[in-house]
Structure 1
Amino acid sequence: MSSRVNPSLAALDRRGFLKAAGAGVLGLSALSIAGCGSGTASGTSGGPLTEVRYALIGDGKAEPGTILRNNLGGFDLSADLGLPVQWPSGFPASLPVMEAIKSSSVDFSFATATAVIYAIGGGVPIVPLVSYPLPANEVDILVPRGSDIKAGADLKGRRVADHRGTTGTYSLVKYLQSVGLTLEDIEYVNLPAADAEAAFAEGKVDAWTSWQPTVELAKRKHDAVALPDVKTYDYAFFVASESLAFDHPETAAALVRNVRDAQRWIEGNPEVAVAAFADLGGFGNSDLEEQVYLDLVKSRRLSYSGAGEFGAVDAAAINGTQDLADNFHDLGVYPDRVDVTTWLQDSRFDSIKSTVTSALAN
């Protein structure tokens, strides 16, 4: 059965990716490596560093940036850096942060592989500091309890909701491939998370692909079940502007060390950490949401869960991100092929890679 794709490319969420056809915020142009990230660095090259701007993404729940911003767990990032830290917020996803780095208003942040790929194509002056694989079980494909869909092969011909160009899309593609299917074999419905959940709850779609905590909350609210053997293949990064990474490498390295240590504190003290987030108003009055976050922190199924063990960008991260880029190009999400491998292996990053590796050894 030919897939009938919902034409809506609605609002970008934290993993969304705007299809660049002249309308994207950065625009994927001709992707020559010579033009990728080799322009003027954000900020004044070589100038004194007076503050660090660490962008927080999404709701800021149960993540290391919130620990550091609020000096929880005994952390004092500003004192450690010897600089004031500003916390730009209001970013629903890491892609808008790439735009902010390009406009010289952000120095450091989390970034998904999709955002890094977009930055490569858009000439954003970022430097990849560390990477890690997202939890292998972060993505789920939900079906209603009692559904006759029991495994991947049963999705053939069924209506499946997904936000096109996200980590969920990549998992869905791989899951279908594992049973000899493609997106052409399902009735693909492109919807952002909130609309997808509504469609799922109302029975307008047969299955829904998304990630944590959205799907775990939905599973409990809508008495849904997850299909077996769905995996997450995406990588995550922490990145800095070129001006921060190249002109102030020790500060960039100290930032990633603090992020790693804050994530380790969360995982070592899950009840204390989640209670602290609740005290900050992170969960409103939702006992269910607080419990879901506690469960996901303990089981390490959130996007930041791997940050306690990250390291300098390695071959696995490079190969995985290239594979994602190639798959999305084949799907038409990216209009041009992005040479992730050449860019991530650029020798310009060797010095900061060494500095970061040394900082993380402590």
Structure 2
Amino acid sequence: MVRKLASMFALALSALNFCALAATSAWAETEIRIAVPGTGLDGRPFVHSTSVAVAHVQRFVEDEFKDQPDVKVTWTFFRGAGPVINEAIAAGQIDVFALGDLPALVGKSRGLRTRLLLSASVREPLYLAVPANSDIHSIADLKGRKVSQFRGTNLQIATDLALAAHGLTEKDVRFVSLDSAAAVSALLSGNVDAVFGQVEYLDLARNGLVKIVYSNKDEVSALGRNAAIFVTEDFEKAHPDTTQKVVNAFVKAAGFTADEANRDKVFEIWAKSGLPVSSFVADHQGERLAWRISPLIDPYTIGRYKAQTERAKAYGLLKKDVDVDAWLEPKYLDHALKELGLEHFWPAYDAKGDKISDGEVEKTRSASQ
């Protein structure tokens, strides 16, 4: 009798364990693996300058699924930026990702099955930093110099465009490829003569450690950098409703980030990357946040990706042509804008960068105004 009871207890325990395992599997049956290019200082898992950073810190994506405990959201930040993210996509390790224009185009040309869902940032400027005691005063002075450039990222084409605008090509400069952190160290130690980079050099310039001798902010519509949010085709086809909610979340984050009433809060969030708030104040001096932060796939955005495609082909960076129109999947963005009442929130621009419609966000004011 005792043996029979023990046997029955063992069977019951096994059944409970099986049910528990089944429940656990169901609980985490959908995972959204989000990838972000770059890290903050010292490898911290925070980035800056886009609404993606705000979506991460403010948990916009997680909040979209707060009533779905079976959905798990994970964020991974890749120090190797775009090229490493493309490798992870090829390995099936990513579902949704933010990426600059060039690496996204390179991945697509090499057969990665992805769709462009919405913009993450547009018109991001480029800065040329040199040591404080350098005799380099302009791009023209770079001829024959050793210059750092994060190759394979959207800095590369922006750099090539800046050189071309001043009569130079890559062949005129001795480029070395370094990631953002390594480039800063190389510049400060004198191992390179100059660096084409981003906002990270503004604080160094403020403290007298480097000089900014060029910025393309005055011609950023034609020479600036762009980034977008993408999804793998496999994930989108398997989870269209989930994809819609992810887009909803990123659109909400873009709306928060572009609103001037949130300017101070946005800069504080970006400062989690390790850069000071003062750098973002300087970087965005004289312009609205919505100038760069917009999810729209308007004629300007489409035109920029098509132009970058042609330039990347000319530089021999693409293995085959990329059909930008076929790459776009705007239905999720269109639905999100309508559902959230944001159809007229952002201004739209034509392919030349001229405004074709105003946006409600342009009426917002910062707390200090």
Q: Same fold (TM over 0.5)?
A: yes
1:265 alignment counterpart: 256
1:39 alignment counterpart: none
Please tell me the residue identity of whatever aligns with 1:357: D
> How many residues were matched structurally?
296
Matches within 5 A, 1:175-190: 175-190=162-177
| SS state at 2:152 partner | coil
1:113 alignment counterpart: 101
C-alpha contact 2:121 2:294 (8 A) present in aligned 1:
no
2:294 alignment counterpart: 308
The answer to whether the aligner puts 1:102 opposite 2:102 as a matched pair is no
After the TM superposition, which of the residue ranges 75-84 and 54-63 deviates more from structure 2? 75-84
Q: After superposition, give the CA deviation of every residue in 1:138-166 in whole Å (9 maximum; x if it has no partner).
A: x1011234543322222223332223333
Structure 2 residues without counterparts, runs of 5 or longer: 1-27, 40-45, 342-369
| 1:69 positional shift | 4.4
User: Which of 204, 212, 229 lines up with 1:218 in the alignment?
Assistant: 204
Please tell me the residue identity of whatever aligns with 2:263: P
The answer to whether the aligner puts 1:170 opposite 2:163 as a matched pair is no
1:50 alignment counterpart: 30
Going from structure 1 to structure 2, the CA distance change for 1:305 and 1:50 (only over 3 Å counts) comes to: farther
What's the C-alpha RMSD, in Å, of the aligned pairs? Answer: 3.6
Structure 1 residues without counterparts, runs of 5 or longer: 1-47
Q: After superposition, give the CA deviation of every residue in 1:13-69 in whole Å (9 maximum; x if it has no partner).
A: xxxxxxxxxxxxxxxxxxxxxxxxxxxxxxxxxxx9734332344332345445444
Please tell me the residue identity of whatever aligns with 1:227: V
Matches within 5 A, 1:105-184: 105-131=93-119, 134-137=122-125, 139-145=126-132, 147-184=134-171
In 1, Cα distance between equivalents of 2:145 and 2:242: 51
Matches within 5 A, 1:1-362: 50-59=30-39, 60-62=46-48, 63-71=50-58, 76-79=63-66, 84-92=71-79, 93-131=81-119, 134-137=122-125, 139-145=126-132, 147-212=134-199, 214-230=200-216, 231=220, 232-268=223-259, 269-275=262-268, 282=272, 289-293=276-280, 295-296=282-283, 306-311=292-297, 315-329=302-316, 334=317, 337-340=319-322, 342=323, 344-346=324-326, 352-361=329-338, 362=341
In 2, Cα distance between equivalents of 1:73 and 1:249: 18
| 1:240 positional shift | 0.7
C-alpha contact 2:118 2:229 (8 A) present in aligned 1:
yes
C-alpha contact 1:141 1:210 (8 A) present in aligned 2:
yes
C-alpha contact 2:51 2:120 (8 A) present in aligned 1:
no
1:24 alignment counterpart: none
1:26 alignment counterpart: none
In 2, Cα distance between equivalents of 1:298 and 1:76: 32
In 2, Cα distance between equivalents of 1:105 and 1:159: 36
Give 1 or 2: higher helix fraction: 2
Q: After superposition, give the CA deviation of every residue in 1:192-212 in whole Å (9 maximum; x if it has no partner).
A: 333332332233433221123
Please tell me the residue identity of whatever aligns with 1:223: L
Give 1 or 2: higher strand fraction: 2
| 1:251 positional shift | 3.0
Going from structure 1 to structure 2, the CA distance change for 1:52 and 1:197 (only over 3 Å counts) comes to: closer
In 1, Cα distance between equivalents of 2:35 and 2:66: 18
| 1:277 positional shift | 6.4
| SS state at 1:170 partner | helix
C-alpha contact 1:270 1:298 (8 A) present in aligned 2:
no
Going from structure 1 to structure 2, the CA distance change for 1:301 and 1:353 (only over 3 Å counts) comes to: same
In 1, Cα distance between equivalents of 2:168 and 2:283: 30
C-alpha contact 1:200 1:208 (8 A) present in aligned 2:
yes
| SS state at 1:240 partner | strand
| SS state at 2:243 partner | helix
How high is the TM-score relative to the length of structure 2?
0.66
Going from structure 1 to structure 2, the CA distance change for 1:272 and 1:339 (only over 3 Å counts) comes to: same
Q: After superposition, give the CA deviation of every residue in 1:267-313 in whole Å (9 maximum; x if it has no partner).
A: 431323444566xxx35xx6x634434554677799x9834343278
Q: After superposition, give the CA deviation of every residue in 1:211-231 in whole Å (9 maximum; x if it has no partner).
A: 23x222432355322223535
| 1:316 positional shift | 0.8
1:33 alignment counterpart: none
| 1:191 positional shift | 3.3
In 2, Cα distance between equivalents of 1:328 and 1:110: 23
| 1:322 positional shift | 0.5
Going from structure 1 to structure 2, the CA distance change for 1:81 and 1:337 (only over 3 Å counts) comes to: same
In 2, Cα distance between equivalents of 1:291 and 1:222: 15
C-alpha contact 1:133 1:317 (8 A) present in aligned 2:
no
Identity of matched residues, %? 21
Going from structure 1 to structure 2, the CA distance change for 1:135 and 1:176 (only over 3 Å counts) comes to: same
Q: After superposition, give the CA deviation of every residue in 1:236-273 in whole Å (9 maximum; x if it has no partner).
A: 12111213323433432332232132133134313234
| SS state at 1:134 partner | strand
Going from structure 1 to structure 2, the CA distance change for 1:307 and 1:252 (only over 3 Å counts) comes to: farther
How high is the TM-score relative to the length of structure 1?
0.67
